[in-house]
């Protein structure tokens, strides 16, 4: 690897350093460092209340940071969800963010890459273009929320518990769409996921949060082999959902 290539790979994507954030005087998240390279998908695991959503909100500028810096492609962005941040960061939270009274096609008229690219990644939406978003299934709505965020072509996508309440077949489609889109457009993706199976499927790397800090980081290829230990130490026992 040349020096120039090494420098590029260090500076593209998302670089979070010493992040602390919370809701009152005591921080919920402390001293968190997180790198997600361009085109890379990182899954965040951790038990309820570990601080995963808080981390996403603080990175995205939707929650004020007490300390820390966030850089995208090597340029620092400040904490406010101002125009530049909104253009560069897509945040999809649990619970779907679509306009229910508008059709799928109308919901997709938001971005820079347009409907065709969203339909390439999520072909299922192609047959639902004239259906009101509020009449789509839960999985289709989640797919549409994600497609809306992707259409804006952000540099960073922050995704919170997309699989919540969805059938495995829909999760497979969502996660393979995310991987494809991240790779094709060089987007840095951080996805909070509670099921280890899906985290291993979608991510290149996995980080585990515990009590507001990053407790463990590993390649996703090692995740399922260390499942028992990780569940015991950080997730409060085995995942009995079968996923
Ligand atoms: P979960 O999967 O349960 O959402 P999480 O890891 O995403 O877990 P957070 O939602 O970041 O955790 O919550 C971390 C802590 O912050 C919890 O103790 C939670 O009660 C608290 N918290 C979250 N949102 C708020 C809020 N709006 N006001 C006050 N405290 C909050």
Q: Which residue has the higher pLDDT, 80 or 141?
A: 141
- Angstrom distance (rounded) from CA 236 to CA 130: 44
In the block, residue with structure tokens 């789509």: 136
How high is the pLDDT of residue 81?
Answer: 59
| pLDDT over 90 percentage in the chain | 66
For ligand 1, the distance from its centroid to the CA atom of residue 20, given in whole angstroms, is 14
- Angstrom distance (rounded) from CA 225 to CA 231: 11
- Angstrom distance (rounded) from CA 128 to CA 131: 5
Beta strand pairing call for 41-45 and 188-192: parallel
Which residues are registered as beta bridge partners of 210? Answer: 213
- Angstrom distance (rounded) from CA 207 to CA 188: 15
Per-residue model confidence as pLDDT tens digits over 126-165: 999 999 999 999 999 999 999 999 888 899 999 999 888 8
Per-residue model confidence as pLDDT tens digits over 221-233: 999 999 999 998 8
User: Using a 6 Å CB cutoff, which residues line ligand 1?
Assistant: 23, 28, 46, 48-54
- 26, 27, 46, 53: which to mutate for ligand 1, most atoms within 8 A of CB? 53
How high is the pLDDT of residue 232?
Answer: 86
Q: Is the pLDDT of residue 93 over 90?
A: no
**Ligand 1 atom closest to Cα of residue 160:** 7
How high is the pLDDT of residue 234?
Answer: 83
Among candidate residues 63, 60, 113, 58, the one with its CA nearest the CA of residue 88: 60
Q: Which residue has the higher pLDDT, 234 or 46?
A: 46
**Residue minimizing CA distance to atom 20 of ligand 1:** 49
- 46, 49, 199, 235: which to mutate for ligand 1, most atoms within 8 A of CB? 49
The DSSP code for 103 is B
Coil vs helix vs strand at 54: helix
Q: Please tell me which of 85-94, 108-117, 188-197 the model is most confident about, judged by mean pLDDT.
A: 188-197
The DSSP code for 162 is T
Beta strand pairing call for 89-92 and 156-160: parallel
How high is the pLDDT of residue 2?
Answer: 36
pTM value surpassing 0.85: yes
């Amino acid at each position: 690897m040349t020096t120039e290539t090494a420098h590029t790979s260090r500076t593209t994507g998302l670089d979070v350093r010493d992040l602390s954030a919370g809701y009152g005087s005591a921080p919920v998240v402390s001293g968190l460092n997180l790198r997600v390279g361009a085109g890379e998908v990182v899954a965040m695991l951790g038990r309820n209340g570990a601080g995963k959503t808080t981390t996403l909100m603080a990175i995205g500028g939707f929650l004020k940071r007490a300390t820390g810096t966030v850089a995208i492609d090597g340029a620092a962005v400040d904490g406010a969800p101002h125009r530049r941040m909104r253009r560069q960061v897509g945040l999809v939270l649990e619970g779907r963010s679509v306009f229910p009274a508008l059709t799928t096609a109308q919901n997709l008229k938001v971005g820079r890459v347009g409907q065709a690219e969203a339909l390439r990644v999520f072909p299922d939406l192609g047959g639902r273009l004239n259906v009101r978003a509020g009449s789509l299934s839960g999985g289709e709505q989640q797919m549409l929320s994600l497609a809306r965020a992707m259409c804006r072509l952000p540099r960073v996508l922050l995704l919170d518990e997309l699989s919540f309440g969805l059938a495995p077949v829909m999760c497979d489609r969502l996660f393979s769409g995310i991987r494809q889109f991240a790779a094709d457009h060089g987007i840095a993706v951080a996805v909070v996921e509670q099921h280890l199976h899906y985290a291993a499927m979608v991510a290149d790397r996995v980080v585990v949060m515990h009590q507001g800090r990053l407790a463990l980081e590993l390649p996703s290829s090692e995740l399922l082999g260390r499942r028992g230990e990780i569940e015991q130490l950080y997730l409060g026992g085995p995942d009995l959902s079968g996923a």
